[in-house]
């Protein structure tokens, strides 16, 4: 095990320059980035990233899902690698830091390992996963989900965007359909640095978050069926307005979640009415519900409580209801060993930190199924992400990347 020093060795100016160059690819007028998966813009970002990997003398490969890897060999090439990274794709009119910071911070950390004269026992690899956001090809995290067995190759290849273009055809078009033999195989451990995408770290004035896990979620689609009638000739007392019932349900779910003290959040993000015209009572209203909680037992209980609200209010309004579960994921708990490793690093260099749960999903969620995994968060200004205003201070970034670097040093110089 090497002796770690408290002083940062990373070159934050080098990382900042690369981040700024990457942000120019798909740049929006208001300072954000639109770089959807497998578009020409993301192809340009991939090419630039590979250029930097080669300039750093890392071995580059691309797998059959377009995931990109850069490898620094260890003294024992047969040892499974320590891996770090994130993604380069963005949402439409997204920010400069989401995903990209994790990829380029990983490159900075590995370059610093080389420059420090550290000789890794085991290999260390950077990865940029394909289609983490799911903004073009649903669902999200296809690249990481594919290599961990969450999604089959056939399923991934046949995902289509809004124009009916397939994932596979776009991989081929941009020249990033690699080979199956280039998948990572066994991974010793995985660390992902990411912006928080929430307000907690900034509010508590803490620069580093050690992420213990990811909240589970259940997505419901609710359809309420009443009676569509003319808006002018139907008396108020004789209406079966599905939207009124939906509004009451949505308000009560909001109040219910606000009263929770266990990390529960609930969101209605999509509402659709039929016939959806100004002069007709909505006969049908459909809406989504996103329910999240870090505890699997509590998540199950929350879903049942939400269903009870829907049933009660629908019955009170004499409205028929249907509930469909359209997505779910169990809460994820990260490696106690890696959490402890990050804590030791922070304590040794006297870096304040907060242990926390991620409310958002990340590639680490799937990688955690095949190896020890952990995440490092750095603050998001005003808690904003997935928007052009997304920002993280370079002082916070430097602290987070330094923790990543020092944690990687411990992991790649250990035979464990």
Give pLDDT, residue 416: 63
pLDDT tens digit sequence for 283-334: 999 999 999 999 999 999 999 999 999 999 999 999 999 999 988 889 999 9
| Architecture of the domain delimited by 220-329 | 2-Layer Sandwich (3.30)
The values of phi and psi at residue 189, to 5°, are -165, 165
Indicate if 220-329 has the same CATH topology as 12-214+331-412. no
Specify the DSSP class assigned to residue 325: E
Burial code of 175-205, b = ≥16 C-beta within 10 A, e = fewer? ebbbeeebbbeebbbbbbbbbbbbebbbeee
pLDDT, tens digit, for every residue of 29-44? 999 999 999 999 999 9
Q: What is the CATH number of domain 12-214+331-412?
A: 3.40.630.10
Residues 239-268, mean pLDDT to the nearest whole number: 97
pTM: 0.90
Contacts of 332 (CB under 8 A, 6+ apart): 213, 214, 216, 364, 365, 368
pLDDT, mean of residues 391-395: 98
pLDDT range class, residue 3, cuts 50, 70, 90 = very low
For the segment 92-127, what is each residue's pLDDT rounded down to a tens digit? Answer: 999 999 999 999 999 999 999 999 988 899 999 999
Please give the Cα distance from 72 to 84 (Å, whole number): 12
Write down the pLDDT at residue 415: 67
Rounded mean pLDDT, 52-73: 98
Ramachandran angles phi, psi of 237, nearest 5°: -75, -10
How many residues are given for the chain?
416
In which region does residue 261 sit, left (phi positive, over 0), alpha (psi from -120 to 50) or beta (all else)?
Answer: alpha
Instruction: Say which residue, 239 or 328, is predicted with more confidence.
Output: 239
Mean pLDDT rounded to a whole number for the chain = 96
The percent of residues above 90 in pLDDT, for the chain, comes to: 94
The whole-angstrom separation of Cα 74 and Cα 320 is 63
Cα 61 to Cα 189: distance, rounded to the nearest angstrom: 19
| pLDDT higher than 70, residue 8 | no
Distance of alpha carbon 226 from alpha carbon 109, whole angstroms:
59
Q: Is the pLDDT of residue 46 over 70?
A: yes
Tokens of 102: 């994790």
CA distance 161 to 28: 21
CB 289 within 8 A of CB 306: yes
Q: What is the pLDDT of residue 4?
A: 43
Which residue carries 């941009």 as its tokens? 174
Q: Where are the domains of the chain?
A: 12-214+331-412, 220-329
| Euclidean distance between CA atoms 17 and 342, whole angstroms | 27
Find the mean pLDDT for residues 184-200: 97
Residue 85 has pLDDT above 60, yes or no: yes
Phi-psi region of 135 (alpha: psi -120 to 50; beta: other; left: phi over 0): alpha
Structure tokens at 220: 């419901």
Q: Given this model, what pLDDT does residue 377 score?
A: 98
Assess whether pLDDT exceeds 90 at residue 6.
no
Mean pLDDT calculated for residue range 211-225:
96
Q: Which two tokens stand for residue 215?
A: 């909240």
375 pLDDT above the threshold of 60: yes
CA distance 262 to 265: 9
Locate tokens 């958002």: which residue? Answer: 360
Tokens encoding 112: 């610093």
Q: Give me the sign of the Cα torsion angle 388, 214, 252, 314.
A: positive
Helix (H) or strand (E) holding 406: helix 394-412
């Amino acid at each position: 095990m090497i002796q770690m020093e408290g002083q940062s060795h990373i070159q934050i100016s080098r990382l900042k320059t690369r981040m700024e160059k990457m942000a120019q690819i798909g740049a929006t007028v208001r300072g954000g980035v639109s770089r959807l998966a497998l578009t020409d813009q993301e192809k340009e970002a991939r090419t630039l990233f590979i250029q930097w990997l080669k300039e750093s003398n890392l071995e580059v490969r691309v797998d059959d899902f377009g995931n990109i890897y850069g490898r620094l060999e260890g003294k024992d090439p047969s040892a499974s690698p320590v891996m770090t990274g994130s993604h380069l794709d963005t949402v439409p009119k997204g920010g400069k830091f989401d995903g990209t910071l994790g990829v380029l911070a990983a490159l900075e950390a590995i370059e610093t390992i080389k420059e420090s004269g550290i000789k890794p026992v085991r290999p260390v690899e950077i990865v940029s996963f394909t289609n983490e956001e799911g903004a073009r090809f649903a669902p999200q995290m296809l690249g990481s989900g594919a290599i961990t067995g969450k999604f089959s190759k056939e399923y991934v290849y046949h995902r289509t965007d809004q124009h009916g273009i397939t994932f596979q055809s776009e991989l081929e078009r941009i020249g990033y359909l690699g080979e199956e033999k280039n998948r990572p195989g066994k991974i010793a451990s995985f660390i992902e640095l990411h912006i928080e995408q929430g307000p907690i770290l900034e509010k508590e004035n803490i620069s580093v978050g050690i992420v213990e896990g990811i909240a589970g979620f259940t997505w419901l689609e609710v359809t309420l069926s009443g009676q569509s009638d003319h808006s002018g000739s139907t008396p108020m007392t004789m209406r079966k307005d599905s939207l009124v019932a939906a509004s009451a349900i949505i308000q009560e779910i909001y109040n219910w979640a606000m009263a929770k003290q266990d990390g529960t959040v609930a969101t209605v993000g999509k509402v659709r009415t039929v016939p959806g015209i100004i002069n007709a009572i909505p006969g049908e209203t459909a809406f989504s519900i996103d329910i999240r909680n870090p505890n699997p037992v509590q998540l199950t209980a929350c879903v049942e409580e939400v269903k009870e609200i829907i049933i009660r209010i629908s019955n009170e309004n004499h409205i028929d209801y249907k509930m469909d579960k359209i997505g779910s994921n169990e809460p994820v708990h990260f490696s106690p060993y890696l959490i402890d490793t990050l804590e030791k690093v922070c304590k040794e260099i006297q870096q304040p930190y907060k242990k926390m749960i991620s409310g958002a999903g990340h590639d680490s969620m799937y990688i955690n199924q095949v190896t020890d995994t952990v995440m490092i968060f750095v603050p998001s200004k005003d808690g904003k992400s997935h928007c052009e205003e997304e920002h993280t201070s370079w002082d916070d970034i430097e602290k987070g990347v330094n923790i990543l670097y020092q944690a990687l040093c411990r992991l790649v110089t250990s035979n464990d």
